[in-house]
Amino acid sequence: MSETPLAIGVDFGGTSVKFGVLYRSNIIDQAPAISTPDFDGPEALITAMLRVIADLRDRHPRIEAIGVGVPGFVQFEKGIVHNLTNVPGWTAIPLKKMLAAETHLPVVVENDANCMVYAEWKRGAGRGLNHLIALTLGTGVGGGVVANGKMIRGGQFGAGEIGQMSIDWRGRRGAYGNMGALEDYVGNNEIAADSRQAYADAGIERHLGECTPAALAKAALLGDEVALKIWDDIAAKLACAIMNCCWLLNPQAVIIGGGVAKAGDLLFNPLTAHLYAQLSAPFKERLMVLPARFGNEAGMVGAAALALEESGVVLQP
Amino acid sequence: MSETPLAIGVDFGGTSVKFGVLYRSNIIDQAPAISTPDFDGPEALITAMLRVIADLRDRHPRIEAIGVGVPGFVQFEKGIVHNLTNVPGWTAIPLKKMLAAETHLPVVVENDANCMVYAEWKRGAGRGLNHLIALTLGTGVGGGVVANGKMIRGGQFGAGEIGQMSIDWRGRRGAYGNMGALEDYVGNNEIAADSRQAYADAGIERHLGECTPAALAKAALLGDEVALKIWDDIAAKLACAIMNCCWLLNPQAVIIGGGVAKAGDLLFNPLTAHLYAQLSAPFKERLMVLPARFGNEAGMVGAAALALEESGVVLQP
């Protein structure tokens, strides 16, 4: 191993908190995950996190920074968690300050989708690029933007919410009053509900459990016409939101990860077709549409990379 | 006057080429405009431009840079005009090199919408901000993006095409195959056609000429219910595209200029209502929706400011 320092990447989710020790993009050690709902409020959970961090540092003295990705809205500069989508009690928590005070290490706290984007940009499919967008497709749709060789966080550190962008100005009303939000069409649950309806329209009865992205991919591979049409539909809706990002930002690459992206060519082929059909030459000629390199580990990888690079422990390569 | 250098700002349009001598945001002198279609191809027009530039420099020896805004696609770094929307023959013209070789001054060549954005950012409604988007509403809809205190040009210098962003994934098919492009709903001609239809639906006959933004504004101010509904509709469509930019980039301000924006409160009131109703707190609490400071002079002001600042004649303030 070289002198590249180690970092802890923490992936803070609504179900569990995962801890990895990262050497570049490799998780060289992992602590047992903590169950998020087992803890009564932020203080108890932070105390447990500090205990895990201390254990990992005992085993790996070369750990030099800590990055935490959280499922919600973060003031990145100060590392304050404003609120978390599915974790009660996490309002205005100065997580960075609290972790740094105990560990005496540089700490960064960032939105989990931005960590995924950072992982793909610095260690994954987008290495070496200066302009990219990345999406993660699951129950929700998250994303992020890199432009001019920098993460774009915006005035209040909220940027990158591709899932909330509209594909229909008169469409479904979303969680924030936004009409036609992408997430309300291509989130896992919406795909299942719309697919059950598509089967019903074709005179076929399906349970929601038979309409998961995995089941739909399997059906499409077996030549199921309804399932093939569903994937084309998902691709067309995704292409609309991605096309909007392309016209606005002219990225070099669009990187797509998350569960729905596991459908592979079933998604990527119609997606690129719909996308390229709706862009002019300078926007598509050198545009790459790429699957994400990382899966579930993206949050830990990105948080650790952010911790090392944006806290100044190592300069960006 | 201080030692701030002067610059020539050139606004190259399909109808005419306008030349201003800029001291900060003030046009202190103007040459008579050249009629674009009078010249047979780029070489003749560039020769004429150089003559005007030489005249202006005779009158203002302190001119230290030249900026040109053009209505089309530009490779900004090299200053090559790839193609212009309404000016035949302008394909792969190294305009920057040709002007610099004759004038021995720093020259920048940029897309005209980006010049407008630059003018508003450096000299207009967006001064001092690090994250903004700007739109200009006319026959077409142009725009641009500033993030992290830099213009966002993207991988191929095409960024900022807000008018091509979709508000409906199954909407009208636009110039580049893109479905539901904003420009195809709120461009002058589309507003007129849709408005004539709205009047017809209400049993009222109107000519297209009575459905200009100016005429619709006048009618709405007099309490015309159809016209008021039309403005609300325009605002809702605009709000969709702007909301998409906000979710993606979390800007501090949205700046809106161009002919359609002259409707003032008739547009801005429903626009901000539709926009704020579709954003969560961090995206709207400090968001400013501002009318542009500059009108027709924006191109010259922005081109001159770009010439001084991005060519390195003066450092950015």
**What tens digit of pLDDT does each residue of A246-281 get?**
999 999 999 999 999 999 999 999 999 999 999 999
Chain A closest-CA separation from residue B96 CA (Å): 20
Residues of chain B in contact with residue A150, where contact means CB-CB under 8 angstroms, are 148
**What tens digit of pLDDT does each residue of A231-243 get?**
999 999 999 999 9
- State yes or no: pLDDT of A200 exceeds 70: yes
Say if strands B253-257 and B132-137 run parallel, antiparallel, or are unpaired: parallel
Spell out the domain ranges in chain A: 6-117+297-310, 125-291
pLDDT at A86: 84
Cα–Cα distance for residue pair B108/B123, rounded to 1 Å:
18
Contact A248, B248 (CB under 8 A): yes
Mean pLDDT of the region B160-167:
98
From A240, A249, A251, residue closest to B166, measured CB to CB:
A240
Residues of chain B in contact with residue A245, where contact means CB-CB under 8 angstroms, are 248
Backbone angles phi, psi at A134, to 5 degrees: -135, 145
CATH number for region A125-291:
3.30.420.40
Cα–Cα distance for residue pair B144/B135, rounded to 1 Å:
7
Mean pLDDT of the region B134-160:
97
Task: Note whether B176 contacts A147, CB cutoff 8 Å.
Answer: no
Partner B, chain A 41-80, Cβ-Cβ below 8 Å = 73
Q: Provide the CATH topology of domain B127-291.
A: Nucleotidyltransferase; domain 5 (3.30.420)
- A134's tokens: 């990345």
Cα–Cα distance for residue pair A66/A49, rounded to 1 Å:
11
Among chain B residues, the shortest Cα distance to A241 is held by B166
Cα–Cα distance for residue pair B135/B145, rounded to 1 Å:
9
The one-character DSSP state at A189 is H
- State yes or no: pLDDT of B2 exceeds 70: no
Residues of chain B in contact with residue A145, where contact means CB-CB under 8 angstroms, are 248-249
Chain A closest-CA separation from residue B143 CA (Å): 9
- Chain B touched by A242 (CB under 8 Å): no
pLDDT at B313: 77
Q: Which of A304, A303, A214, A298 is closest to A259 using CA atoms? A: A214
Task: Note whether B154 contacts A131, CB cutoff 8 Å.
Answer: yes
Q: B150 in helix, strand or coil?
A: strand
Mean pLDDT of the region A191-209:
97
Contact A310, A108 (CB under 8 A): yes
Structural domain A6-117+297-310, CATH architecture:
2-Layer Sandwich (3.30)
Task: Note whether A162 contacts B251, CB cutoff 8 Å.
Answer: no
Mean pLDDT of the region A227-234:
98
Contact B182, B237 (CB under 8 A): yes
Partner A, chain B 122-141, Cβ-Cβ below 8 Å = 129-131
Q: What is the overall mean pLDDT for chain B?
A: 95
- A51's tokens: 């205990």
Task: Give this complex's ipTM.
Answer: 0.96
Q: What is the overall mean pLDDT for chain A?
A: 95
Fold match between B6-117+297-310 and B127-291? yes
Mean pLDDT of the region B181-203:
97
Chain B closest-CA separation from residue A252 CA (Å): 5
Contact B95, B68 (CB under 8 A): yes
Mean pLDDT of the region A182-209:
97
A152 vs A66, A70, A117, B56, CA distance in Å?
A: 21, 17, 11, 41
Say if strands B141-147 and A141-147 run parallel, antiparallel, or are unpaired: unpaired
- Find all residues with CB under 8 Å of A203, minimum gap 6, and list them: none
Task: Note whether A148 contacts B150, CB cutoff 8 Å.
Answer: yes
